[in-house]
Amino acid sequence: MPGCTSIINLSYQDGSEGSSSNPAKYNNQNYGQLKDSHVRRGTEFVDKTFPPNNSSLGDLPSLPSWREAQVEWLRPAEILKRQGSSDEAVFCNKGASRFDFGQGSVGNCWFLAAISALTFHKSLMVQVVPMDQSFKDHAGIFHFRFWRFGHWVDVVIDDHLPVLDNKLLSVRSKSGNEFWVPLLEKAYAKVCGSYTDMNSGLPSEACKDFSGGVSMMYELREVHDAAHDEKLWMSLSNATGCNSMVCCGTAQKGGRLVNTVANTGLVDAHAYSVTAVTEVQYYGSKVQLVRVMNPWGQTEWSGDWSDKSEKWNGVTSEDREKCFDRDDGEFWMTLEDFCHYFLMLFICCENPNFIDGDLACQWQCMVYEGSWVSGKSAGGSWSNSSFNTNPQYRIEVTKIDETEKEDKNILISLMQKPKAQNRKQQRSYPIGVTVYKIPEGVRANLTLLLCTPNIFHI
């Protein structure tokens, strides 16, 4: 993306603590110092802040208590030994790929779908997953980086992983001896509070933590019913060309959060990643196709344009090469079927270029932090007489290109910091933003009033 300025690099001066080049130390743990210390002493690191026991696992709803008691925490070399494998443990073999892993017994498809999307964007990938790590002189310690509420953090873990019946309890490596995904998952579980705290969520949460970028959500059936398919197709096409992470999700069946498999091959209440879009000529007609990936690493759509669909016999040999008949969880479907069978679409990018597809534009990022304080700045909603006491921020738009079609000049994104450490204990309050145009002659021509409902107004 030549000429494109990344939002995450504008949020902090490069080199300052919390920037991408100098992430803050999560739990004040210094990865370099800890590793050097254990290498010198010939010992292996044990993380006391996220200990290898069932307090870090939590109370998994899919696992009865008697089975939880059978969970062991083993290092990768011991896991392979238990499995009778003579292979040596490797961190990452021949580069990271969406085909490296499959979901385990933790209901974190939303997180794994985001990882699948992350593997397409190497600059973000190496920021989140430092690739200079290995099991040689590693001292049982690894680290990963996440963007958390305005700054990057470096998260240290030991390499004990939860094992049940000599198999990894959670995400598994398809190669058997590659461990970058299980270790990445453990680091994120530490940030969330436990593995159980990763049960259920939205892919946009993880995508945000992988980039610090802009996230947009689309309700697909509403978009389709409003005849906005072409706009959606443009957004998807722009997103796949703009270093965006794209994920989607199916609806619950009967109001229950259960991953039942429908007769279409799609999984209910499940997160997927969007890995590509394309157009093919089918007997002279143009067909728009979306490629989707199931983080299970198997179980695919069985309708039109699926791996075994006869529709592929009606396209050119060049287009036919886009379809691979293998049970790897990845499949094609039409945009219309995509909008019908999937409920939500999530697009997250380092910058908002995917909105209009302008890859040459440069965005300036401004981050404002504030709080609602009872009796001072918690003014409540616009119907309250105290509304004007809410935090106010002025933005001056110095240049607007009126000649550019669909030009987007300002994008406003709200984020709420939780009070609780554990993800499941975090409580979010409804918040909003009201935009007012200031009359001519006043220095800034926009004022933003951030407001919150009466729940904060005392």
For residue range 38-48, what is the model confidence (pLDDT) as tens digits? 999 999 999 99
Residue range 118-128: mean pLDDT, rounded? 93
* Domain coverage including residue 384: 368-458
What's the whole-number average pLDDT of the chain? 86
What pLDDT score was predicted for residue 150?
A: 85
112 and 32, same domain (yes or no): yes
Number of structural domains in the chain: 3
Residue 206 in domain: no
Q: How confident is the model at residue 149 (pLDDT cuts 50, 70, 90)?
A: confident
Residue 3 in domain: no
312 and 248, same domain (yes or no): yes
Residue range 273-293: mean pLDDT, rounded? 94
194 and 220, same domain (yes or no): no
> Which pair of tokens denotes residue 388?
């004007």
338 and 378, same domain (yes or no): no
**119 closest CA partner among 247, 212, 5, 1:** 247
Residue range 293-316: mean pLDDT, rounded? 94
Q: Domain with 241 in it: what CATH number?
A: 3.90.70.10
267 and 299, same domain (yes or no): yes
For residue range 58-113, what is the model confidence (pLDDT) as tens digits? 998 888 989 999 999 999 999 999 999 999 999 998 889 999 999 988 889 999 99
Say whether pLDDT at 439 is over 90.
Answer: no
For residue range 306-319, what is the model confidence (pLDDT) as tens digits? 999 999 999 999 99
Say whether pLDDT at 456 is over 70.
Answer: no
253 and 331, same domain (yes or no): yes
314 and 184, same domain (yes or no): no
Q: How confident is the model at residue 129 (pLDDT cuts 50, 70, 90)?
A: very high
Say whether pLDDT at 419 is over 80.
Answer: no
Residue 136 in domain: yes
Question: Do 453 and 381 touch, CB atoms closer than 8 A?
Answer: yes
| Residue whose entry in the numeric block shows the structure tokens 């990963």 | 144
| Distance from C-alpha of 206 to C-alpha of 187, rounded to nearest angstrom | 12
- Where among 349, 380, 400 does a domain terminate? 349
182 and 232, same domain (yes or no): no
- Where among 349, 381, 404 does a domain terminate? 349
What pLDDT score was predicted for residue 126?
A: 94
- Pick the most confident of 183-192, 247-256, 345-354, 356-365: 183-192
> Which pair of tokens denotes residue 170?
């959670």
Residue 404 in domain: yes
327 and 265, same domain (yes or no): yes
Q: In which region does residue 425 sit, left (phi positive, over 0), alpha (psi from -120 to 50) or beta (all else)?
A: alpha
Residue 358 in domain: no
Cβ-defined contacts of 361-369 (< 8 Å, 24+):
361/3, 361/4, 362/3, 362/4, 362/5, 363/5, 363/7, 363/10, 364/5, 364/10, 365/7, 365/10, 365/11, 366/395, 367/11, 367/150, 368/393, 369/150
Residue 79 in domain: yes
Strand 271-282's sheet: what is its strand order? 214-219, 344-349, 245-249, 271-282, 285-293, 330-334
What pLDDT score was predicted for residue 1?
A: 32
Residue 178 in domain: yes
> Which pair of tokens denotes residue 389?
């006491």
Helix (H) or strand (E) holding 65: helix 65-68
374 and 248, same domain (yes or no): no
219 and 281, same domain (yes or no): yes
- Where among 315, 349, 383 does a domain terminate? 349
Neighbours of 395 (CB within 10 A): 14
User: Which burial class, exposed, middle or buried, applies to 234 when counting CB atoms under 10 A from its CB (0-12, 13-18, 19+)?
Assistant: middle
43 and 183, same domain (yes or no): yes
Question: Catalytic residue numbers?
Answer: 109, 270, 294
What letter would DSSP give residue 267? Answer: B
Say whether pLDDT at 11 is over 90.
Answer: no
Residue 100 in domain: yes
Question: Do 397 and 409 touch, CB atoms closer than 8 A?
Answer: yes
